[in-house]
Amino acid sequence: MGTATESESMDSESTSTQEETFTKVSVWDLPDLPKGKLPPHIELQRTRVLCGSLAPTNTENVNYSGAYAAMGVDNSVRFEQFRNNFKVEIVRLEEDELEFDMIGIDPSLANAFRRILIAELPTMAIEKVLIANNTSIIQDEVLAHRLGLIPIEVDPRLFEYMSENDVPNEKNTIVFKLHARCTKGSDRLRVLSSELKWLPNGSELILGTEHSASSSSAKPKTYTSFSCSQDTLPEFSNDPIAPKDADIIVAKLGPGQEIELEAHAVKGMGKTHAKWSPVATAWYRMLPEVVLLRDIEDDEAEALVKKCPVKVFDIEDIGKGKKRATVARPRICTLCRECIREEGWDKNVALRRVNDHFIFTIESTGALPPEVLFTEAVKILEEKCERVITELS
């Protein structure tokens, strides 16, 4: 009996302790939320990717229109709302590189722009290589492949696509020739892309069947059929066609070795072969968001600054010999999570990504400026949408 009394008293003490710890609050005493708005914690999950010490969470977008209907929030995509929220802000523009922010856009659309830039924007690239002589150590196939990857500085919009039944002409083909020889007794010769010389009148190599059949009066047939010289066209009269970079190494010749060839460039897209891709790379990342959950001062502030390898944090003097950590450069954060990897630091620093704000970077190979590439990608995406609407209607 004494044991039962002791256990009952212990249970009553634990129950009173729990009542002190967890104070009961009536549902009617909870604060009212503005109609049409989500609670802060749900809004955070909807608009941010949370990056913990082990892995990111909330990586999926909530696309269902009725996901928050119980809270009076319409989650459907509306054109007016998209038009008002969507923005493009140029951050950096160089000759061959563009960095800009796309704000208020779904990841699927951002990825659509990336795929179009890589695979669906046309350029001119060397497709056919006619080798007259090659005594170098590089095989003909490897040499042709290297030539195909050399970027050509010419606007592909001025040319037409060439099908299997088309004859190479001034509207669909660009012809280059290359003739390099390393004389005996000299040092090894580097053959650069600057050796590719533009032939505005077309091919100079005579068809094999024409050597025996052609008469002295008739003009021999070549591998192209140009009706006029390309340098007479206004587009190229003051802007001759050439490789974008003149210092690309094509081959190295030893004494006595020689390369003589003719290269024909045609219009194509990156989804056919990577040599037609107009970008060296096109990529994006979500905008990093670094938040200090409490004031970090003095020794802790210095420790936090040392943790970050890219110097996101800085220290400011708040007077009376005290120092405080601040988030100075959140944009350059790579989310390496070094600042929260140590135990307990995830209570001090929160790492997030804004899931509708993308930092987009385009690196052009040189055929077209990066800003032109982006506008052309927009046109292609617009054509795709119009095609879908036409098919549905």
Ordered domains of the chain (ranges, CATH): 40-67+78-121+277-392 (3.30.1360.10), 123-276 (2.170.120.12)
- pLDDT given for residue 153 in this prediction: 94
Q: How many CB atoms lie within 10 A of CB 305?
A: 19
Rounded Cα–Cα distance for residues 243 and 174 (Å): 12
Whether residue 111 is predicted with pLDDT greater than 80 in this model: the reply is yes
- Which DSSP letter does residue 333 get? -
pLDDT digits (tens, 9 = 90+) for 148-165: 999 999 999 999 999 988
Whether residue 35 is predicted with pLDDT greater than 80 in this model: the reply is no
> How confident is the model over 224-237, as a mean pLDDT?
90
- pLDDT given for residue 37 in this prediction: 80
Rounded Cα–Cα distance for residues 339 and 306 (Å): 9
Single-letter amino acid code for the residue at 347: K
pLDDT digits (tens, 9 = 90+) for 71-103: 788 888 888 888 898 999 999 999 999 999 999
Rounded Cα–Cα distance for residues 298 and 140 (Å): 67
Question: Is residue 14 classed as helix, strand or coil in its secondary structure?
Answer: helix
Whether residue 1 is predicted with pLDDT greater than 60 in this model: the reply is no
- pLDDT given for residue 33 in this prediction: 61
Mean pLDDT of the chain: 88
Rounded Cα–Cα distance for residues 359 and 377 (Å): 17
Rounded Cα–Cα distance for residues 391 and 393 (Å): 6
Q: What is the largest CA-CA distance in the chain?
A: 131
- pLDDT given for residue 18 in this prediction: 44
Rounded Cα–Cα distance for residues 228 and 200 (Å): 9
- pLDDT given for residue 16 in this prediction: 47
> How confident is the model over 183-209, as a mean pLDDT?
91
Higher pLDDT, 385 or 1: 385
Rounded Cα–Cα distance for residues 88 and 348 (Å): 33
pTM of the model: 0.82
Give the pLDDT band (50/70/90) at residue 20: very low
Strand 97-103, strand 87-93: pairing: antiparallel
In this structure, are residues 262 and 290 in contact, taking their beta carbons and an 8 Å threshold?
no
User: Residue 188 burial by CB count (10 A; 0-12/13-18/19+): exposed, middle or buried?
Assistant: exposed
Question: Is residue 360 classed as helix, strand or coil in its secondary structure?
Answer: strand
Please give the helix or strand (H or E) that residue 74 lies within, else none.
none
Strand 56-57, strand 152-153: pairing: unpaired
Q: How many CB atoms lie within 10 A of CB 24?
A: 6
Single-letter amino acid code for the residue at 122: P
Burial 378-389 (b: 16+ CB within 10 A, else e): eebbeeeeeeee
pLDDT digits (tens, 9 = 90+) for 243-288: 999 999 999 999 999 999 999 999 999 999 999 999 999 999 999 9
In this structure, are residues 131 and 177 in contact, taking their beta carbons and an 8 Å threshold?
no
Question: Is residue 160 classed as helix, strand or coil in its secondary structure?
Answer: coil
- pLDDT given for residue 31 in this prediction: 65
Torsion angle in degrees (nearest 10) through CA of 246, 251, 254, 256: -90
List Cα–Cα distances, 85 to 88, 291, 357, in angstroms.
10, 24, 11
Q: Which of 8-17, 104-113, 204-213, 342-351 has the lowest mean pLDDT?
A: 8-17
